Amino acid sequence: MKKHNVSQDKIDSALKRADDSLKSYTKKKNKVADGSAFITDAMAETLLRQLGLYSNHVRKAFEILRNPKTAYDYKRNEKAYHTVFEAVIGAQKYSAFGHRDGFEGLLVPYYDKFALFPLFPSVATGKMHDMYEKMKRESVDMVMMDSAVKIGIEGSVSEDDSTSEDKPFNVYK
């Protein structure tokens, strides 16, 4: 390896800058919802139908997850569990870009890239359940976390706002 005549001060300075740069990433806690959007079961069904992916297998999974008698027990039944996870549960990778109406009629560019997860009452637990209930109350089909928005932050929600009763979701129609 070739040696360079670099002072120890410059080496120390470069290492400190690199360390400071990395600290901004390590201080942030990665959250389960990072880079995600969540949709209602009705929206998931609509998307699967539009994509031509709604089959008898998918229909069966929806029946399992929507039926109060089976929705919470499918994990105990290997066949039902396999049906649900193969057909419905799991992320669809999604990206979108374009322009939307912004402040005072100006077009705002946006680029969103995220994993799209369908929510069902039996799958949404804890804080996710609270968000799902809020989505239903406000007739919102999709909630996109702010980490899913790469350009044009308008319209996304932070994890803290996802269950707040004081702050309604942004709605685009």
User: What is the predicted pLDDT for the residue at 170?
Assistant: 57
23 found inside a domain: no
Distances 20 to 25, 27, 64 between C-alpha atoms, Å: 9, 11, 50
161 found inside a domain: no
- Count of domains observed in the chain: 1
164 found inside a domain: no
25 found inside a domain: no
pLDDT digit string (tens) for the chain, length 173 residues: 445 566 788 778 777 776 765 565 455 554 555 678 888 888 889 988 998 888 898 898 888 888 888 888 877 888 888 888 777 766 678 888 888 776 667 777 888 888 888 888 888 888 888 888 888 898 988 888 777 777 765 555 555 555 556 666 555 54
User: What is the predicted pLDDT for the residue at 128?
Assistant: 84
71 found inside a domain: yes
22 found inside a domain: no
Instruction: Please tell me the distance from the alpha carbon of residue 131 to that of residue 129, in angstroms, as a whole number.
Output: 5
Helix (H, G, I), strand (E, B) or coil at 134: helix
5 found inside a domain: no
pTM above 0.85, yes or no: no
159 found inside a domain: no
User: What is the predicted pLDDT for the residue at 103?
Assistant: 64
Domain that holds residue 41: 32-151
